[in-house]
Amino acid sequence: MTFAHDTEAALLSAVELVNSAAEPDTLTEIGQLDAFFTKHGFTGAHKGDAEELRAIRAMRAPLRAMLTSDRDTAARLVNETLAEHRALPQLVRHDPLDYHIHAVDSEAPFPVRIAVETAMAMIDVIRSDELSRLAICADSTCDGIVLDLSRNRSRIYCSVACGNRNAAAAYRARRR
């Protein structure tokens, strides 16, 4: 494991959220937001209404900037996010997880929790100088973010679809 569970979970959810903006947009309905909440094991407040959906969709660009910036810019964005939301890191434990960090109350709005959890995860990434684990998809037609948690740092595509598309194209090119 490269990072602690809560760091990996926050990074995975942030990358999925940012990548949901690609065509076709995969976060346009409240049901999709509910599925995102459940898939990533979020706890606490979740209104599941149009206002919350709009707020979370609006977070995609700022999170993208945080995840794809150089180290100094990412550190500045992390600090601004934590200050804006008055984050106070605390160790908590709840089923099924052992101790991990929450930096805002579980009843804070869902968009705030996503922003702060992503910023807290980026602290680990920045401190360990592992920003190379976040990259833009190698598919020239895609601008999705890749989170490479592999041991050998070999992941270059944001999704299986991008990898398959490029493998098929390379195969066709070799056959010519």
pLDDT at 1: 53
Residue 71 lies in a domain: yes
Domain count for the chain, please give it: 1
Residue 14 lies in a domain: yes
48: domain CATH number? Answer: 1.10.3300.10
Four-point Cα dihedral 80, 81, 86, 90, nearest 10:
-120
Residue 90 lies in a domain: yes
pLDDT of 33 above 60: yes
Q: 31: domain range?
A: 5-131
Residue 150 lies in a domain: no
Separation CA 44–CA 49 (nearest Å):
15
pLDDT bracket for residue 97 (50, 70, 90): confident
Separation CA 176–CA 61 (nearest Å):
40
* Ramachandran angles phi, psi of 145, nearest 5°: -95, 140
Residue 108 lies in a domain: yes
Residue 77 lies in a domain: yes
pLDDT bracket for residue 23 (50, 70, 90): confident
Q: What is the pTM of this model?
A: 0.92
Token pair of 119 as six digits: 């910023």
pLDDT at 85: 96
Residue 154 lies in a domain: no
Residue 97 lies in a domain: yes
